A and B are shown apart, each in its own frame.
Chain A
Amino acid sequence: MSLPADASAIAAAVHQGKTTATAVIQDALQDIAQRDRSLNCFTSTVAERALKRAQQIDQARQAGQPLGPLAGVPFAVKNLFDIAGEVTLAGSKINRDGPSAPQDATAIVRLEQVGAILVGALNMDEYAYGFVTVNHHYGATPNPHAPARIAGGSSGGSAAAVAANLVPLTLGSDTNGSIRVPAGLCGIYGLKPTYGRLSRAGVALFSASLDHVGPLARSVRDIAVSFDAMQGADTRDPVCTQRPPAATLSSLEGGLDGLRIGLLADYFEQGLQPEAASALDQITTALPISQKVTLPETSRARAAAYLITASEGSQLHLRRLQTRLMEFDPATRDRFVAGALIPQSWYLQAQRLRRWFQAQVKAVFEQVDILIAPTTPCIAPFIDQETMMIEGQSVLMRPHLGLYTQPLSFIGLPVLSVPVTQSDTLPVGVQIIAAPYQEVQILRVARWLERQNIVAPHPYTP
């Protein structure tokens, strides 16, 4: 069976009694068992737990109890989210020897509180250090629209599972672009909220001062519903905001009224390949762009983000690098070691540059409410591709995928990557960016574009 279009449609069918949560989950698990052999999104499923939860929801409906807005919706998480009783792999082989998680990650708990049902864990780059989801231990997750190409990463399993209709909703994490890059390359929506907006408790960290979690889905509504459900303070995450939750769903149809929209220029125009340029054109033609905006020193900001990531990530894994070096994925190992050797003065300069850059960009948001930029410079590269040509120069493909995402997560801005409707080309995304804590403005713009059919999930043909 193919699932209805999105999570909200599934939940509506369960609410109305057109189907049961049990039937939805049984179908999803069966579908995953059959199709994931080639899609390679899942690293594990939790069938027993999922069916039990489904039964509880069906019983609640029969008893006339109220159901949540995601009742009966199957979802899955990048395998760095803790699942009670399971070992949290974070894409590694080393972690298999660790203890199983004592409890679910907060984000899972909150989605299940509104009726969603966890069905499994998804493939990723080892310890989230990559943009490709080509994992030495668990294989590559191919792009569902072009299996010789990457899904993007590091939340590649999360993006591909939604793109291929295995589940309508997943969770990923984003440090430098790891939700937005795969969402863009797989042709779906991926939200990286404001830094600290959603709890990361029970999520294996990569670079603590840059890590975010967020949802990937097939509609703006699903992004809003899941984002709203996951909001709220959490004492288990030291950076989780104390601000009260700001619901977005009720404001989705607010349109563009009162929003000043700018296009990021200069740095964000360099190296843009034709498919990504035409996707950006479609968005900027549709939206009332009032000005082009240049962020100062964006290139230095990106480099500083890299230094922070490499320093923090390597320090986090130092003990494992000391004792189990050759069990790392070769694709992350050498970068982790190199990162461990970064002088502290470089790291602190990067953290100071971050503060400076934040102040510059804050001033920009006095002139505009929304900024637009491409998500990636190109469509999905081939799985074995090492370099790409950008303006006549050969550059390393893997790090280059984060060119436009990295400077924005550096200062924790909320960003949604939207899938632009284009025929005859592989998917590519555009980023909609707002000031900190203004996710609602982003979602209003995305919903407006969705209503005009300018953004939509890339059609999947198995």
Chain B
Amino acid sequence: MSSSHSLPEPLAADLQVYVKQSAALLGLALPDEVFPQVVENFERVAIMAQPVLDFELPDTVEPAAIFEP
């Protein structure tokens, strides 16, 4: 199960910086008591994202989002 995996150590440390800076960019003020759980949750997302990102797709595969004018 993916939740038992972890990111490589340098990347895990960088996540704190990423969360802090990208949250600031989005206008999200994260109190100290919330910050660690957000990092933990984002790490979980990052782990889950790896196999999705690793999967090679042909250029012809379009995103599935729906918009019909």
Which residues does A use to contact B, with CB under 8 Å? Answer: 196, 209, 238-239, 271, 297, 299-300, 303-304, 306-307, 310, 318, 321-322, 325-326, 333-335, 337-342, 346, 348-356, 358, 390, 393-396, 399-400
Contact = CB atoms under 8 A, between A and B. Distances in A.
Interface string B5-36: 00000000000001100110011111100100
B3 A395 contact: yes
A293 B64 CA distance: 24
A334 B39 CA distance: 9
Given A306-B45, A334-B34, A356-B61, A325 B55 contact: no
Contacts of B64: 209, 351-352, 354-355, 358
Given A325-B29, A340-B28, A395-B1, A297 B55 contact: yes
A322 B27 CA distance: 6
A390 B1 contact: yes
B6 to A, nearest CB: 14
Contacts of B37: 334
A393 B1 contact: yes
Interface string B55-69: 101000111111010
Contacts, number: 110
B61 to A, nearest CB: 5
Nearest to B4: A393
Given A337-B38, A341-B22, A393-B1, A355 B45 contact: no
A352 to B, nearest CB: 5
Contacts of A304: 52
Given A353-B55, A353-B57, A356-B57, A322 B28 contact: yes
Contacts of A271: 1
Contacts of A352: 57, 61-64
B52 A303 contact: yes
A338 B41 contact: yes
Nearest to B54: A300
A361 to B, nearest CB: 13
B39 to A, nearest CB: 8
B51 A300 contact: yes
B11 to A, nearest CB: 14
A209 B66 contact: yes
A399 to B, nearest CB: 8
Nearest to B23: A341
A337 B23 contact: yes
A307 B48 contact: yes
Interface SS of chain A: helix
Contacts of A341: 18-19, 22-23, 26, 38, 42
Contacts of B49: 303, 307, 342, 346
A205 to B, nearest CB: 13
A337 B55 contact: no
22 contacts: A196-B66, A238-B66, A239-B66, A299-B51, A322-B26, A325-B31, A326-B31, A326-B34, A337-B34, A338-B38, A346-B49, A346-B53, A348-B63, A350-B52, A351-B64, A351-B65, A352-B62, A353-B55, A354-B63, A355-B63, A390-B1, A395-B4
A306 B51 CA distance: 12
A356 B45 CA distance: 21
Nearest to A209: B65
Given A306-B45, A351-B63, A352-B57, A394 B28 contact: no
- Most chain A C-beta atoms within 10 Å of own C-beta, residue among B27, B40, B44, B53: B53
A310 B49 CA distance: 11
Nearest to A323: B27
A306 B62 CA distance: 19
B55 A300 contact: yes
Contacts of B61: 352, 355-356
Contacts of B48: 303, 306-307
B32 to A, nearest CB: 12
A270 B53 CA distance: 23
Nearest to B25: A341
A348 B63 CA distance: 6
Contacts of A355: 61-64
A439 B23 CA distance: 43
Contacts of A325: 28-31, 34
A338 B61 CA distance: 27
A251 B25 CA distance: 55
Nearest to B50: A303
Contacts of B38: 334, 337-338, 341
A355 B62 CA distance: 7
B26 A335 contact: no
Contacts of B51: 299-300, 303
Contacts of A300: 51-52, 55
- Most chain A C-beta atoms within 10 Å of own C-beta, residue among B1, B57, B62: B1
Contacts of A395: 1, 3-4
